[in-house]
Amino acid sequence: MLLAHRLNVMMSCYLLANKAAGIAREIELGELDTGKGQNQIGTLQRPGDTRWSSHFKSIQSLQKMFDAPVEVLRSIANDRAASKYSRGDAVGALKIIMSFDFVFILHLMEKIMKITDVLCQTLQKKSLDILNALDLVSTTKVLLGKLREDGWDPLLQEVQSFCLKHEIDIPDLNSRYVDVTKSRNKHDNTTTLHHYKADVFNVAIDQQLVELNDRFGVQNTELLTLCASLDPRHDSFDVSNICTLVEKIYHADFSSQERAHLESQLPHFQLDVCNHPELKSSPSLADLTIGLFKTGKAATYSMVDRLLRLVITLPVSTATTERAFSAMKLVKTRLRNRMGDEFPRHYMVVYIGKEIAAKITSDEIINLFDTGGRRAEFKLIDM
C-alpha cells in the first residue's frame, strides 16, 4: 500500500515534469497531432473494483504512458532513502513490467477488451435494450473469432515494435520454451512461438468465446427474445411466439387456463398500448408496467401484467446488480463486521444509488431527521 501511494505521487510529479518534453519530441517526429484539446497531461487510469470497462481504460493508459511508471519504479528502486521493502517491491515490479511476457499479455488484453467493451457497456445500462444486446453478443463472437484467425501476426508485430521502442528484450521465438513453474521435461520441445500463440493467444480468446456461449446459451437467448418480443411497439411482437416461450420458460407460473387468457389478452394489449397517449411513450418495459398500473389497465390485462413483472426481474442477473453484490465486499469490511444488518443495509442503498444520493443536499437530510426527538425513524420519501 505504501509503495502504491508513493508510486501514484511520484507518477504525477514525473508526468508534470516530463510530459511536455515528451509531447514536443513526438510532435517533432510527427507521431502526435496538434490542435485545441490535444495532448492533455493525464495519469494512469485506476481500474474500478466493480466496473470491468475501467480495466480497458487502464490498459490503454498504461500503453500510452509506459515510460512514466518505468522511470518512477527505477527511481524508487535506486532511492536509498526508501525502505528496503519499497525498493524490493519496485525492483520486482520493474522486472515484470519490462518483460516480453508482460508486454505481450498487455497488448493481447487490449485487443480482446477493445472488442468486448461495447457489449460490456451495453449490459451495464440500467435500461437494457435487449435486441441490441443480443446483436452485440453475436457480433462480439464473430469479431473474437476473426481475431483468433487473423490477429496473431499483427499482434506479434505490434508487440515486437513496442519492445524495440522501449528497449525490452525480445526472446528467440524459435527456441525451446522453458516454464519455470513446471519440472523440465526433456521430451517437451514446445517453442516460445508455440507457447505464446497456442497456450496464451488462442486460449485467452477461446475462454472469452466459451464464457459468452455459457452466459448466452440457448435458454438464456430464448428468455431475452421473450423480453424483446413483449414490446407491442416493435415488429418483433408475436403472440404465438410469446405464448410458446411462456409455456417453455414460465410453465410453473401460468396454468393452462391462464396461458389461454394470456393469448386472448395479448392482441388487445398490443392495440391498446400503441394507441394510448401515455403508454406508447414508455421508454422501457419497466415503465410500461408502471403505466399499466397507473392507468388501471393492469387489472384488465392481468396475465400480461404478470408476465411483464416476471420479465422485468431479469436485471437481477445483469452487471448492474452484480456490481451491487461486489460492492458488499467494499462495505462489509473487517471493521464493520460486528454491525447489525440495518446500518449496512442503508449504507448499501446510498452506496449503490450514488446518482440519486448526490442529488440530496445536507439541508434536506437535516430537515428530515430534525424532529425534536432523541431518535428519528426512517420514513419513505418521494425521490
pLDDT of residue 244: 81
Cross-strand pairs, 176: 191
- Give the ranges where 218-331 is alpha helix by DSSP (H): 218-229, 239-249, 256-275, 285-294, 297-300, 302-311, 319-331
Backbone angles phi, psi at 317, to 5 degrees: -105, 10
Q: Are residues 305 and 328 in the same domain?
A: no
Q: Are residues 298 and 260 in the same domain?
A: yes
Q: Are residues 8 and 94 in the same domain?
A: yes
pLDDT of residue 161: 94
Q: How many domains does the chain have?
A: 3
Residue 106 lies in a domain: no
Do residues 297 and 284 make contact, with C-beta atoms less than 8 angstroms apart?
A: no
Q: Are residues 255 and 296 in the same domain?
A: yes
Residue 139 lies in a domain: no
pLDDT per residue rounded down to tens, the chain (383 residues): 444 555 554 454 444 445 545 545 555 555 545 554 454 445 555 555 445 566 788 888 888 888 888 888 888 888 888 888 888 888 888 899 999 999 999 999 999 999 988 888 777 665 556 666 777 888 999 999 999 999 999 999 999 999 999 999 999 988 888 777 666 555 567 889 999 999 999 999 999 999 888 877 776 777 777 677 777 877 778 788 788 878 887 888 888 899 889 889 989 988 888 888 888 887 777 788 888 888 888 889 899 889 888 877 765 555 556 666 777 777 777 777 777 777 777 777 777 777 788 888 877 777 777 665 545 555 555 55
| Domain boundary, last residue among 313, 338, 355 | 313
| Domain boundary, last residue among 289, 313, 337 | 313
C-alpha to C-alpha distance for 83 and 65, rounded to whole angstroms: 26
Q: Are residues 289 and 360 in the same domain?
A: no
Residue 145 lies in a domain: no
C-alpha to C-alpha distance for 11 and 70, rounded to whole angstroms: 10
Q: Are residues 296 and 276 in the same domain?
A: yes
Q: Are residues 333 and 265 in the same domain?
A: no
Residue 277 lies in a domain: yes
pLDDT of residue 159: 94
Q: Are residues 269 and 343 in the same domain?
A: no
Residue 2 lies in a domain: yes
Q: Are residues 283 and 336 in the same domain?
A: no
Residue 140 lies in a domain: no
What is the residue whose three cell numbers read 500510452? 64
**Domain extent for 326:** 318-371
Q: Are residues 302 and 350 in the same domain?
A: no
Q: Are residues 326 and 294 in the same domain?
A: no
| Domain boundary, last residue among 72, 98, 124 | 98
Residue 330 lies in a domain: yes
Q: Specify the amino acid at residue 242.
A: I
Residue 76 lies in a domain: yes
C-alpha to C-alpha distance for 123 and 319, rounded to whole angstroms: 6
Q: Are residues 47 and 82 in the same domain?
A: yes
DSSP three-state, residue 159? helix
